[in-house]
Each structure stands twice: as structure tokens, then as C-alpha cells.
Amino acid sequence: MWMSVPRRGMGPPLSAASFLLLLLLLLLLLLSLSAVSAASVGNPEDYAADEAERTAADNIVFDDYRGKGCVDDSGFVYKLGERFFPGHSNCPCECTEDGPVCDQPECPKLHPKCTKVEHNGCCPECKEVKNFCEYRGKTHKILEEFKPSPCEWCRCEPNNEVHCVVSDCAVPECVNPVYEPEQCCPICKNGPNCFAGTTIIPAGIDVKVDDCTICRCHNGDWWKPAQCLRRECLNGPSLS
């Protein structure tokens, strides 16, 4: 029979329950350390896959055309010295080591009467020029001559402008001129004349307007009243 002999300097012996509890705590601690170690190491298969992806990414080579060529908007590659249209400009560009160098020309001015302009090229281009004149609601061809009224003579000029000349009528030699259709200036159908009072008399002759009065038109001054001589029937003639 075993007997426990008390020893000096030591505490009371552990009971069976305490010993089992201590052993359980130690086992839990070992399991925790094992889980942490496994998590830090990871799955070897996952590690191999990640490594393969990194290796494949490192092996991708991206083309670098700097100093070797030029690329347009659609991805087409041009050699150094080659001319091309990059897509954002209608002007041609030349591929250089510094990139595309595009033309910037001084485009000619468009005709002020241009009615149709195309922008397909580097410079806008006039495709149709107005080749007629407009005057008082009517159109006339270039170099066409026309009369919008009896007193006007007009011409459609090459610059699409209408130039007109208005007739300058002379002073009529009568007091009763008339206007004939399609004639600009009035005419004296009965020749020169003037007024003698309220009577119109022909020029160049003496006209007896009553029993005692003879009148004559002034030479060249048709608008002036006639010069008349009034004769008194009993006392003789007198100039009025």
C-alpha cells in the first residue's frame, strides 16, 4: 500500500480533477497554435496557382511604338515618314519620332457667294457658286441685260450684283408732254408750244388768240408764258 508522505516546502498535491483540467487547457493551447500555423502557410495548391498567374503577367510584353511608328484612332500603325490621316483631323499628318506632325495650311477664303461648301478635305472647298442675280424679286443670269422699268437699264454683273443706269430726260419743249408705253421720257406729240393765258399755242408762229391780241412763244423757253401784243381797236396797238 502506497502512502503519501508530506514534504516540506511544497504545496498540497493536485487533485485528479485539477490535473485533468490542466491537461485539457494544455491540449486546447496546442490545437490553437496548430491552426494558426496552418493558416499562415496556406494551401499549397492555391499558392502554386497565384504564382503561375504572376509569372504569366510578367511574361506579357506590351508593344511600344515610341520612336518607331505612329498609331491612329483605330489602332492602325504607320511607319516613320509615312503620311496618314489620324482621324481627328482632315489634314494629313506625317509620322515622326516625336509623334504625328499634322499640316496646318492657310486655307483660301471662300467665295462670298458660295452656296455649297464641303469639309471633306484639309481645307473647306466651295462646290457651287451663286451664278445669278436677284433684283426686285426676279432672277437674272450673269451678264444678262434687262430693263425693270422704261427709264432703267440694268445688267447682272459676274459678282452677282445688279448695276443700273437711270435715263436722264431732257426738259420737254411743250407744256403738254405725254408718256407713251415702254418709253421713259415724255414726248411732245404736237411739237413745241407754250401757254398764252390758258390757251396752248404752237411755237414759232404768231397766233391771234382774239380779235385784238397776237401772241408768240419765247424761243427756247417753252415753260414761260407767251409774249403777246394787244391791239386797241380804236386807239391803236399796244404791247402788253
Copy the grid coordinates of residue 51: 504564382
For 132-166, which CATH class? mainly beta
Q: How far apart are CA 37 and CA 57, in angstroms?
A: 30
Global pTM reads 0.36
Q: How far apart are CA 144 and CA 146, in angstroms?
A: 7
pLDDT for the residue 62: 47
* Nearest CA-CA partner of 102 in 127, 128, 83: 83
Copy the grid coordinates of residue 153: 437699264
126-158 burial, b at 16+ Cβ within 10 Å, e below that, comes to: eeeeeeebeeeeeebeeeeebeeeeeebbbbee
All structural domains of the chain with their residue ranges: 70-128, 132-166, 174-234
pLDDT for the residue 239: 43
- Mean pLDDT of successive 10-residue stretches along the chain, which has 240 residues: 43 65 79 61 54 57 65 84 77 86 84 80 83 90 90 90 89 90 87 92 91 88 86 53
The counts of H helices and E strands in the chain are 2, 18
